Structure 1
Amino acid sequence: MFRKVEESQTLLINTQSKNLAAQNKELIKFGFGQSPFLPPKQVMDELKSAVHHKEYSSVQGDLELRQYMADFHKAHNGLTVLADDILIGPGSKILIFNTLMAFEKADVFIPTPSWVSYGPQAKLAGHNIIQLPTDFDQKWRISAESLKKASKHKLHRATILILNYPGNPDGLTYSEGELKEIADQARIQNIYVISDEIYGLLNHNLNHKSFANYYPEKTITTTGLSKWCGAGGWRFGAVFLPNEIESDLKKTMIGIGSETYSCAPTPVQIAARTAYKNFQDITWYIKWQVNILSQIGNYCSDKLNSSGIRVHNPQGGFYIFPDFSLHQEKLHAAGIKTSNDLCQTLLKDTGVVLLPAHAFGFEENYLAARLAYVDFIPPLENSHFDVEKNCPKVKIGIDAIIKWIENI
């Protein structure tokens, strides 16, 4: 009678962690990808002053804000978009789902690994899911060849690729050459690309380029305030549509929005004006975050690699994706056969919370997990930063993983 839809693994692990914390369990919270940074003070002040705005906005969102966003992203990553082609909603998550819902039937290419909600959303929308396998040596990146192979399994006229970079769960990104090759193949196959660039401003080299720069005609870009602005619970996202795309897509998405969420919260949209009004006003805040996140990410990956837990140094966001497969034999001997076993046993033995690879599209027996290195309190803006001094729980958590794998 009812659809079978399980709770999102990221939200589930957050709930489980809160329940354990309520039982006075000492936890290292590497499971839930929530930014530890507060939004800039001027943005929070604007939200406070806008709290009396209880009116609905248009479904598409505040026009002044959309113009600010167009100018902001042009300055940040060269993305050219008209204000009239931006749709604002309560989080990029619902906007990705609405984009998928706008298509009657489609083949959806989803890389493995990928964010936990892409597959369930595509399934709910009634589409045919085609996984694009990757591996550690490929740095979890798809390629033009991936798209060629996937094309053999297509069932429908419309094809959608969901591309996320910097990536969740791996924290890696794509080079300009790789993006151009993917764009060329997408053009050959006439693929619509949902480019989820929610972590774009947290590229550790501050050189993120939107995929729309290479494939402007059919790239649908999503972004928001949850990651770079530390405002996940505010629920603010946006989708940028190419001016060349069929007008029916925008009409359909506005129609779906009008029948579901109505609009993004008006006070949050007013606060977002301050966040997006001038890219130069926010550059210091982004650089401050990225400097800290890069140091922590490299600290975690270097330490884990030294213990035989393979992991690539992150290039953006606040995730790494440790691979425990070099320890497979002794893990199996200890009864740990799946990534879920791995995370559950690690949690029980050490209090460290990770999210299993299975949640990101892998087979259950692949022994890997996502680590969100966000369990720290950011230092003052102008203070000297030291990982071990300023992030004691990160150090404790990484040391606990290493000690656990050594003694398993």
Structure 2
Amino acid sequence: MPELLPRARNSSESIFSQMSRLALQYGAVNLGQGFPSDPPPAVLLDAARGALGRWDQYAPPAGLPILRDAIGADLGLDGADVVVTSGATEALNVLALSLYGPGDEVLMLEPVFDVYLPQARLSGATPVTVPMHLDDVAGWTLDMDALRAAVTPNTRALLLNSPFNPTGTVFSPVECAELVALARAHDLWIISDEVYDELYFGEQPTSFRTLAPERTFTVGSAGKRLEATGWRVGWIACPPGLAPMLSAIRQNGSFCAPTPFQVAVAAALPVARESGFYADLRAGYGERMGLLASGLRELGATVFLPSGTYFLTARHPQWTAEVLVKEAGVAVIPGAAFYAQHVAPEGLLRVAFCKSRSEIERALERLSLHAAHAPA
């Protein structure tokens, strides 16, 4: 019998799926995988119901024009420069297949979101990671000197994530300018994963697209913005004129994102902007973040508050994700899952607060009970 290629044989279940599976198995509160507990907004649900039975067939690979135009209007660009994808993961994969290949290097930061590495390798390129610094007082910081030193003649692209999963970092305007200068100095593409662009807790993040529109591909997600991660509607905002070529690549994958959901997202995006939905979302998440952070600190954890996303990172000398899910009944993500080329900080965990207040309170109660029975 023929054998599967090594890329298939060496693939394994993602840590996010694994922890969600273990959460179900052990009846744990799932603060691991980042899907919200709250339902999507009513305008999105109503628009989807109205689309079913009317918009049920294939959409163009680039996306329905009404959605491309809605995304363009929201981001301040021409809808013709938008490609709609089946979630942000597909958007990132389309970019990997389009922008680099054998012999190329892709520069990214570590801790790194798990799909960045295999997508680069599947394209034939080599991922190169530069570690963020973590200090118990200063938190997560960017090392620009190390990033500059990592550029080689083979570097083809700079893959960035701001707000940054898992660290919660939002790059400052000065850091963004330095990153753009680095890309221009070495003629690099910028892939900017901005799926959490509306989930921030201070100054609004700077989009790299506004600083370097000629070389930046911006990845976005309706799932993250509108609390509908299972709908699988994402997008790529492209430099002018490049969308048709990316659309031609993505038609060989899923071909198109779900048509009725595209219609619903097109209806919901302007309402979300005009109604203050995003501001309310940030306020609600900010409150839950504070609840979770305070509870974790009381249990002896060092907490690093995020400036964006709906995750916080924490360190605890006695906790591991495996023990917590099995013995405490709380699922989190081990920090080591975001490291492949460097050593993860000891005791690092990523904890989601996109859950209901009652779930967070229940998780903290279980962690407190676990701590009370832990060996001294």
What is the aligned partner in structure 1 of residue 289 from structure 2? 297
For structure 2, the residue ranges without an aligned partner over 5 or more in a row are none
Give 1 or 2: higher strand fraction: 2
Q: Is the 8 A contact 2:334 2:350 kept in 1?
A: yes
In structure 2, distance between residues paired with 1:305 and 1:214 = 38
Instruction: Give the residue type in structure 2 aligned to 1:171.
Output: G
In structure 2, distance between residues paired with 1:233 and 1:192 = 29
Is 2:320 aligned against 1:319? no
Q: How does 1:391-406 map to 2 (within 5 A)?
A: 391-397=360-366, 399-400=368-369, 403=372
Give TM-score scaled by structure 2 length.
Answer: 0.89
Q: Is the 8 A contact 2:192 2:218 kept in 1?
A: yes
In structure 1, distance between residues paired with 2:256 and 2:375 = 52
In structure 1, distance between residues paired with 2:343 and 2:126 = 19
In structure 2, distance between residues paired with 1:397 and 1:207 = 35
What is the aligned partner in structure 2 of residue 108 from structure 1? 106
What is the aligned partner in structure 2 of residue 59 from structure 1? 61
SS of alignment partner, residue 351 of structure 2: strand
RMSD, aligned α-carbons: 2.3
What is the aligned partner in structure 2 of residue 41 from structure 1? 42
For structure 1, the residue ranges without an aligned partner over 5 or more in a row are 75-80, 337-341, 377-386
In structure 2, distance between residues paired with 1:358 and 1:208 = 27
In structure 1, distance between residues paired with 2:309 and 2:371 = 23
In structure 2, distance between residues paired with 1:402 and 1:125 = 45
What is the aligned partner in structure 2 of residue 343 from structure 1? 321
- Percent of pairs with identical residues: 23
Higher relative contact order (CA 8 A, sep 6+): 2
In structure 1, distance between residues paired with 2:91 and 2:369 = 38
What is the aligned partner in structure 1 of residue 256 from structure 2? 263
Give the superposition deviation at 1:91.
0.3
Mean Cα displacement is larger for which, 295-304 or 100-109?
295-304
Q: How does 1:134-213 map to 2 (within 5 A)?
A: 134-137=132-135, 139-151=139-151, 154=152, 156=154, 158-205=155-202, 207-213=204-210
In structure 1, distance between residues paired with 2:179 and 2:108 = 14
Q: Quick one: which of 7, 11, 14 aligns to 1:5?
A: 11
In structure 1, distance between residues paired with 2:269 and 2:201 = 20
Instruction: Give the residue type in structure 1 aligned to 2:352.
Output: A
Instruction: Give the residue type in structure 2 aligned to 1:311.
Output: V
Give TM-score scaled by structure 1 length.
Answer: 0.82
In structure 2, distance between residues paired with 1:400 and 1:253 = 52
Q: Quick one: which of 77, 82, 85 aligns to 2:78?
A: 82
Give the superposition deviation at 1:54.
1.6
Instruction: Give the residue type in structure 2 aligned to 1:42.
Output: V
What is the aligned partner in structure 1 of residue 231 from structure 2? 234
Q: Is the 8 A contact 1:112 1:140 kept in 2?
A: no
Q: Is the 8 A contact 2:62 2:244 kept in 1?
A: no
Q: Is the 8 A contact 2:163 2:194 kept in 1?
A: yes
In structure 1, distance between residues paired with 2:33 and 2:73 = 32
In structure 1, distance between residues paired with 2:270 and 2:110 = 36
What is the aligned partner in structure 2 of residue 310 from structure 1? 302
SS of alignment partner, residue 34 of structure 2: coil
SS of alignment partner, residue 225 of structure 2: coil
In structure 2, distance between residues paired with 1:109 and 1:129 = 6
In structure 1, distance between residues paired with 2:371 and 2:192 = 35
What is the aligned partner in structure 1 of residue 351 from structure 2? 371
Q: Is the 8 A contact 1:294 1:314 kept in 2?
A: no
Instruction: Give the residue type in structure 1 aligned to 2:65.
Output: L
SS of alignment partner, residue 140 of structure 1: strand
In structure 1, distance between residues paired with 2:157 and 2:369 = 41
Q: Is the 8 A contact 2:133 2:143 kept in 1?
A: no
Give the superposition deviation at 1:142.
2.9
